[in-house]
A and B are shown apart, each in its own frame.
Chain A
């Protein structure tokens, strides 16, 4: 029994996070770019970078509840505003230099044509990240609202947990179309872009180190991602980098 307890205690100590480890909570649309940036940052600074990708709304809620994240990458500024208001992020620590674009995608085999927002109302189903909470879904809803077709499209919406779940739903062929970011569409060869949204709401990502973070490498990771090398990686992956 004593040995068992000692083992438990050891397990507890062993899993305490090291100071040179950074836990980054990030919008799922940034997955490939941030993993590449993480590797480059690890090679340069020696700090271990770990990620939890998901809908920014979920991640912000978890951070607000006390999740031990060091850095947060949100797909919109609203979630970061809320964390700043809660005192979890300092205004001066925020960086907003990334943008993206919405596109309508269909399964590669589909012959569907979409000339504009109005055509989406004619579809039996449309996959969209949860339009009440998830940034990609909120952007899509705002676009459809500004086009005056939201009330017609709303009953057709299949809400998903995050934008990559939207992409997977379209890839599987279970839904006729979906609204995702341009950068999501480019990572899949099972979907085809049929419409690019040019008059949608401004999409702005926000990144900041969290006030509660005890990791000495957190700021270094943010500086790295927002620096020349990080921006180049984002740009190569199809994001718009704001100057």
Chain B
């Protein structure tokens, strides 16, 4: 492993971690709201939120790029505030955050839905405020499902390619994550150097999936008990 390989790994882990931390509060709020909301239009909101799972990542990337380019609606705003976003590591965070958001929301929503509503009602009747009910009853009960969502979102963030290359390019040392570097090295015929990165991703993927397996096993046992 070279110093360059390690710095690519470091960038990838950092970006995935920041992205996952960023979407965590939003994703929990969305999952909770969708689990509690029984009104009309719920299916539509859910579908829209899940679009990044189904759409080609390049399509999501192009929409983001169009919004954020210098002449775009959000890009002009950024330009005025002097924030460099596109083709920086911050753009990588944004791209992977958008792509991994639904992977956090869906398991979180399912976990919140599994909670016996009587438990929540009981907590309310004991005088707990809704925010406290969420924090002290719902969160601990749904924790395994949320953890699965975090693992899924994190692994998506580690491997995202299509949206990232459109909004952040593939700049060595700045925006080139593992997935982008593997592609780039293959393109220029450095298959061996690319394979080193592939081995790194296999190890990473192994630990991520392993963690999620352990978590879901525990959850099953918990449900059986």
Contact = CB atoms under 8 A, between A and B. Distances in A.
A15 B187 contact: no
Given A8-B21, A66-B87, A68-B87, A164 B187 contact: yes
B32 interface: no
A151 interface: no
B18 A67 contact: no
B86 A168 contact: no
Contacts of B219: none
Interface stretch (B33-41, B97-105, B138-146, B171-179): B171-179
Nearest to B82: A214
Given A164-B187, A167-B188, 5 more contacts: A54-B170, A66-B85, A68-B84, A164-B188, A165-B188
A160 B174 CA distance: 24
Interface of A: 4, 8, 11, 15, 23, 28, 50-52, 54, 58, 62, 64-69, 160-162, 164-165, 167-168, 171-172
Q: Which 8 A-B pairs have the closest CB atoms?
A: A168-B189, A67-B87, A52-B171, A65-B69, A66-B86, A165-B187, A66-B70, A164-B188
A52 B170 contact: yes
B162 interface: no
A65 B70 contact: yes
Contacts of A165: 187-188
Contact of A168 (B21, B65, B87, B188): B188
Nearest to B167: A65
Contact of A50 (B65, B87, B174): B174
B173 A68 contact: no
Interface in B13-69: 14, 18, 21, 65, 68-69
B69 A67 contact: no
Interface string B91-130: 0000000000000000000000000000000000000000
A167 B187 CA distance: 9
A68 B188 contact: no
A171 B191 CA distance: 12
Residue from B68, B186, B188 with most neighbouring chain A CB atoms (10 Å): B188
Contacts of A62: 86-87, 169
5 contacts: A8-B21, A11-B18, A62-B87, A65-B65, A65-B68
A138 B79 CA distance: 33
A171 B189 contact: yes
A168 B187 contact: yes
B149 interface: no
Contacts of A54: 169-170
Given A54-B170, A165-B187, A165-B188, A65 B87 contact: yes
Contacts of A160: 187
Contacts of A64: 69-70
B187 A52 contact: no
A4 B24 CA distance: 14
A228 B69 CA distance: 38
A28 B189 CA distance: 13
A164 B189 CA distance: 8
Contacts of A69: 87
A147 B19 CA distance: 53
B27 to A, nearest CB: 16
B154 interface: no
Contacts of B21: 4, 8
